[in-house]
A and B are shown apart, each in its own frame.
Chain A
Amino acid sequence: MADRFTRYPLGEGVNFYVQPTTKFKTTSVYVYFHMPLEPVTVTYNALLPMVLARASADYPTTAALSRHLDELYGTSFGVDVARRGEVQSIVFRMEVAGDRHIPGEQGLLLRALDVLGGIITRPLVVGDGFKPEYVEQERTNLRQIIEGLINDKRRYAMVRCTAAMCEGEAFALHRLGRVEDLEGVTPRSLLEHHRRVLSEAPVDVFVLGDVDPERLQEEVAKRLPLPAGSRRFPDTVVKRSPDRPVRDVVERMDVNQGVLVIGFRTGITLRDELYFPMLVANGVLGGFAHSKLFQEVREKNSLAYFAYSAIETVKGVGFMYAGVEFADAERCKAIMLEQLRAVQDGAISDAEMETTIATLVNDMLSAADRPEAMAELAVDQVFSGRDLTIDDRVARFRQVTREQVAEAARHFTLDTVYLLTRKEGGA
């Protein structure tokens, strides 16, 4: 099976990727604008798609836009902002029913692309800026979403550990930006930023569905007219090891359960030879329920309801994290670090190797059944510069040896220990 995109360059730094398939009943469209992750613009990049999604010149109210998409058989449309390393990507997603599943319908995709192209390139402008009410409302919404990160204690703890570990680096910035930048945003400054994004960001457009690539290439180019500009792909600064002693951070809050997050530098990215061994190392250590962390911390010692590890492979960092009873945090940390040492020493059973590789292979093959996962893999390729099919990747996983896994794990260098715990004197 092909399961791969064909690339059509639409211009300097603008690429159209298409994968014709009849497997899905819908056609999925993803448009990515890649911007550098930087103070102040981080918040503009997060706010911009929220304002764009409210209305366009063609559909000048949120209700009109929403009703029109409903008429197109519930075409779903969403925006997001993602972070890979020190790159912040503004993402537009659309999914539209395939004509052959709707009796008497033709050209649903092109009508949906008209809407999408309009939202991105022909925003609703009032005077010299975006519609002020929409900017104000979305600014409030974004503030509330950023402040609401605290609601999910596990995610909040990860965000706080990353910020502490990478203080002074762009990677400390959250993908949604900073509350303090929001005050300075005006309808006009945001519209100026929109022009900057359209002319400076490298753009990737992905389409999966029952489509004719050659014809669609022209239709997409027509519907997404972008100004000429220099589109340079943003860099990420990778640190192989910390440049200061290990930092301990304790945050106190009125919670029922603590969250422990241990942050590491790995320096291993998706361009490295050790990339595939690193993915396996993370799997053996804590990526799954069969991994050492979950087995030792939860199953053997009943110390936590969850205990996992995660890696980020553009910046080259890694984490181990667990939900713990307050009194058990130290013991939990010791057991987690012990598991890391075991992987670094190559104390990995045949079953651990085989299970982890089988699980990673299964995850990889499963991506072929999910349009969004396919698009995300393709974005990884843009970052890595390597063109690997799903089956190529499966082959790479199967070649990984125990020695390579231990070597990859030895790149985990302790940087920051973060603990979210109860307030002193609390019950």
Chain B
Amino acid sequence: MEKQSDPLLRDELYMERLENGLTVAVLVKPGYRQMTGRLAVHYGSVDSRFVNPETGEAVHVPDGIAHFLEHKLFESPEGNVADRFAELGAESNAYTTHTHTVYYFTTTDHFWSCLDLLLNFVQDPYFTAESVAKEQGIIEQEIRMYLDDPGWRSSANLLEALYVRHPVRIDIAGTVESIRAIDPDLLYLCHRIFYHPSNMVLFVAGDLAPAEVVERVRQAFAGRRYPAQAGIQRLLPEEPPVIAERRRMQELVVSQPILRLGFKEKEVGLTGRALLERDLTTSLILDVVVGRGSALYTRLYEAGLIDQRFGFEHVPEVTFGHTYLTGPTPDPAELEARLLAGFHQAQEQGLAADDFERARRKLIGRVINLMNDLDSVAFLFADGFFKEIRLFDLLPTLDSLTLEAANERLRNHFDPNLAAASVIYPRR
């Protein structure tokens, strides 16, 4: 078992790769009453086209199938798996992102039964035509619910504006039409290919003995046989280095317009430390240029163009990436112009060394803070794992960043030619 630790965080993480390809990671949290187990699958909404390793043929499955599969796996011949977790007093749930799917439980008792249940239900698909039809009704409701959600729509519209062909521009849940094309055979196919142990990681955190966890997982898989599977070839359309649309607008029942301004990544394909460096550098830049302590933030806030709901984030994925800044505003055109001008000015002047150091200190504190919460740590672990980013890479990478590289990144990434805006307007 490989042991990783961080001198500042004073946490220990143990990792082991099992014979069947599954990686098991255990974060030891002394004194915690909660224990969590999370099975993450490297399969998200952007993986609708791939080469079927069984036949060598390219397949295109309906959009939204990864999310549909996530919902359906909770069904077993004995009923809903979530109910069985609940009987054990555990909370269980799952989520699907553009790039991965995570199934998890959090509990304060019966940890081993919960772990067994998690490992088994994700490996035991059970789909019938009838249950698939019912799920289509439920997901249709979910899709309709999000149609009224301004934050969700604002995000979806920006992705459609930033990307020309990349499937990140399609809703994670698919569309009402696409999910109607899903049937049990397609679900079984996707499960067989993507839910192979070599395409998954189990993350466990709590006041637990790592060796015992690994032993239990080994036992749970003892009776299961998986055909050897080479890496899955995912097919993505060629994404041109341009945006699809400069601006997307939509009217909804909201009190105020909402602006979301995005900058598309020029080059993608980074993984590991390189991707993490890019991500943390971008976070520091955003904080210095437009964070609460910045002159730009003060001007925008005092002009009434933003309020405390204003926020920003860099989205670092392997096959796509962008930065967005968002918030409700009385004047989206003015806010957009001032943000673009603010980044332009920062590019001309460069970041000040003391601002950069202050932002770095802040981020160090935030990383330490984040480690208190099992949900946040687990989310971070799963989000990084398939990009080859490790939990304890964070602080050393943060420490290694330089002002020169940050200024370079500032000039390169915040390019107005790759900027797009999504605006939600109040419906009259």
- Interface 9-mer from B142-150, B211-219, B274-282: B142-150
A304 pairs with B141, CB closer than 8 A: yes
Question: In the complex, what distance in Å separates the CA atom of A144 from the CA atom of B301?
Answer: 13
Give which listed residue, B80, B90, B309, B359, contacts A299 with CB less than 8 A.
B80
Enumerate chain B residues within 8 angstroms of A150, measured Cβ to Cβ. 253-255
B254 pairs with A151, CB closer than 8 A: yes
Give which listed residue, A103, A137, A362, contacts B91 with CB less than 8 A.
A362
Chain A residues with a Cβ closer than 8 Å to the other chain, count:
70
Chain B residues with a Cβ closer than 8 Å to the other chain, count:
66
B83 pairs with A290, CB closer than 8 A: yes
Q: Per-residue 0/1 for A60-96: is the Cβ within 8 Å of any B Cβ (1 yes, 0 no)?
A: 0111001100111111100000000000000000011
Question: In the complex, what distance in Å separates the CA atom of A298 from the CA atom of B291?
Answer: 42
Question: In the complex, what distance in Å separates the CA atom of A26 from the CA atom of B9?
Answer: 11
A257 pairs with B145, CB closer than 8 A: yes
A70 with B358, Cβ < 8 A, contacts A75-B365, A366-B33 known = yes
Residue of A at shortest CB range from B87?
A: A355
Q: Per-residue 0/1 for B74-93: is the Cβ within 8 Å of any A Cβ (1 yes, 0 no)?
A: 00000010110011111100
B374 at the interface (CB under 8 A from A): yes
Question: In the complex, what distance in Å separates the CA atom of A368 from the CA atom of B363?
Answer: 26
Counting chain A CB atoms within 10 Å of each CB, which of B142, B149, B255 scores highest? B255
A22 pairs with B358, CB closer than 8 A: no
A145 with B34, Cβ < 8 A, contacts A63-B295, A290-B83, A302-B138 known = no
B87 pairs with A358, CB closer than 8 A: yes
A366 pairs with B34, CB closer than 8 A: yes
Question: In the complex, what distance in Å separates the CA atom of A257 from the CA atom of B134?
Answer: 19
B292 pairs with A63, CB closer than 8 A: yes
Question: In the complex, what distance in Å separates the CA atom of A21 from the CA atom of B309?
Answer: 33
- Give the contacts of B282-310 with A (CB-CB under 8 A): 291-295, 297-298, 301-302, 304, 307-309
Enumerate chain B residues within 8 angstroms of A302, measured Cβ to Cβ. 134, 137-138, 141
Q: Per-residue 0/1 for A319-358: is the Cβ within 8 Å of any B Cβ (1 yes, 0 no)?
A: 0000101000000000000000000000000010011001
Question: In the complex, what distance in Å separates the CA atom of A74 from the CA atom of B106?
Answer: 28
A145 pairs with B307, CB closer than 8 A: yes
A52 at the interface (CB under 8 A from B): no
B31 at the interface (CB under 8 A from A): yes
Give which listed residue, A140, A148, A256, A365, contacts B148 with CB less than 8 A.
A256
A254 at the interface (CB under 8 A from B): yes
- Give the contacts of A17-42 with B (CB-CB under 8 A): 21-26
Question: In the complex, what distance in Å separates the CA atom of A137 from the CA atom of B292?
Answer: 15
Give which listed residue, B150, B304, B371, contacts A25 with CB less than 8 A.
B371
A122 at the interface (CB under 8 A from B): no
Could you list 28 A-B pairs, sorted by A, with CB under 8 Å? A25-B372, A63-B292, A63-B293, A63-B294, A63-B297, A74-B361, A96-B365, A101-B9, A102-B8, A137-B301, A141-B307, A145-B309, A147-B256, A148-B255, A149-B255, A151-B254, A153-B253, A254-B427, A257-B148, A288-B86, A302-B138, A305-B144, A306-B145, A358-B87, A363-B91, A366-B106, A370-B373, A371-B372
